[in-house]
Structure 1
Amino acid sequence: MSAADRDGGGRTALLVIDVLNDYDHPDGDALRPSAHAAAPVIGRLIDEAHARDVLVVHVNDQHDRWDIGAEDLVALARRGSPDELVDPIVPRKGSPFLLKARHSAFYATPLEYLLERAGVARVILTGQVTEQCILYSALDAYVRHLDVVVPRAAVAHIDEELAAAALRMMEANLHAEVVDEQVDWG
């Protein structure tokens, strides 16, 4: 039974995962083209979510620095990408911003508690990397009985084949709704 079935509805939240990145790492060159294609789509979804009063939560890798915050990560991203690709995905004032240590947005973060307190039953996953952090976050959402939506144009990958397999796994095993770009905000 899904969270929406259990509580008669529930809110939707847009999760923006690991988008603040300078691409200065071993997978950076492989990730960059897909991330650049996904960034404007993620930006549009963030705009839509805010316009609809949908909770937008940014969860970002801390790059092995626990003293880093959102502003520092935005500066790091600006070093690796032009402003027109960073500006749409910058966390807005008032949007929750969480740091994560490992692949899942839920692992060792207060995300589950935040979503539960906000009455969220459905999450829309966007960001990087489809075959890693998006997949593991989808699994963790699923085991927490959250409904999962993944707009394929709003997730970036390192390996196109692994990303396609990850999306198929999310659909088949986690009952995720994988959509092109448009989402039903619920």
Structure 2
Amino acid sequence: MPASTALLIVDMINPLDFEGGKAMRPQAIAAAARIATLKRRLKADGVPAIYVNDNFMQWQVDFSSLVAICQHGDSPGAPLAHRLPPEPDDYFVLKPKHSGFFDTPLALLLDKLGATRLVVTGVAADGCVLTTAADAHMREYAVHVPRDCVASISPARTDRALALMKESMKIDVRTSRYAGA
């Protein structure tokens, strides 16, 4: 795997306490398991993992506090946070809105890491993953959104988002098996 690749994990530290969160939960849990496998494989090849996460209007918390909130047993998103816990060598960027690039230092971090290729995973495929992938595409990164590592509130919405990314932006949406190929 070239050192120029970075793995983005979008909004997987997530309380899932929003409208549609309950519907997304089973797909998100399945995606979390596949993202965890992909993360282990890519990190073994020296690829940095970057958690690009909404702050869920928790303006006074840092990332580790957000993880603790989401890992709490009462949180519908606890299985996601437990399957994908950040490790000490992982990076994180808190975002105020949909795209990981909007009003965040993500572009600076990627430049510092020398990243030119992004593997974008997470939720929601038709929201934050889509806008992050579109912004990455506009910034001329090579983008791969592994179709088995994203989720939305319905499979149909995921499929539509992936089709848009593939057809309109020529983004690679093959499964995680091809990440790094």
Which residue in 2 is equivalent to 1:94? 89
Do 2:12 and 2:80's aligned partners in 1 also have CA atoms closer than 8 Å? no
1:85 shift after superposition: 4.4
Instruction: Work out whether 1:11 is the aligned partner of 2:14.
Output: no
1:21 shift after superposition: 1.1
1:45 shift after superposition: 1.2
| Counterparts of 2:44 and 2:83, CA distance in 1 | 14
Instruction: Work out whether 1:55 is the aligned partner of 2:39.
Output: no
Which residue in 1 is equivalent to 2:57? 64
Q: TM-score, normalised by structure 1?
A: 0.89
Secondary structure of residue in 1 paired with 2:36: helix
Q: TM-score, normalised by structure 2?
A: 0.91
Which residue in 2 is equivalent to 1:167? 162
Identity of aligned residues (%): 34
How many residues end up aligned between the 2 structures?
Answer: 178
Runs of 4+ in 1 over 4 A off after TM superposition: 81-85
Q: Deviations over 1:133-152 (max 9, x none)?
A: 11101100000000110111
**Structure 1 spans left out of the alignment, 5+ residues:** 1-8
| Counterparts of 1:180 and 1:109, CA distance in 2 | 28
**Structure 2 spans left out of the alignment, 5+ residues:** none
1:154 paired residue among 149, 161, 178? 149
Q: Which moved more, 1:41-50 or 1:127-136?
A: 41-50
Instruction: Describe the shift of the 1:116–1:37 C-alpha distance in structure 2 as closer, same or farther (beyond 3 A).
Output: same
| Counterparts of 2:77 and 2:130, CA distance in 1 | 27
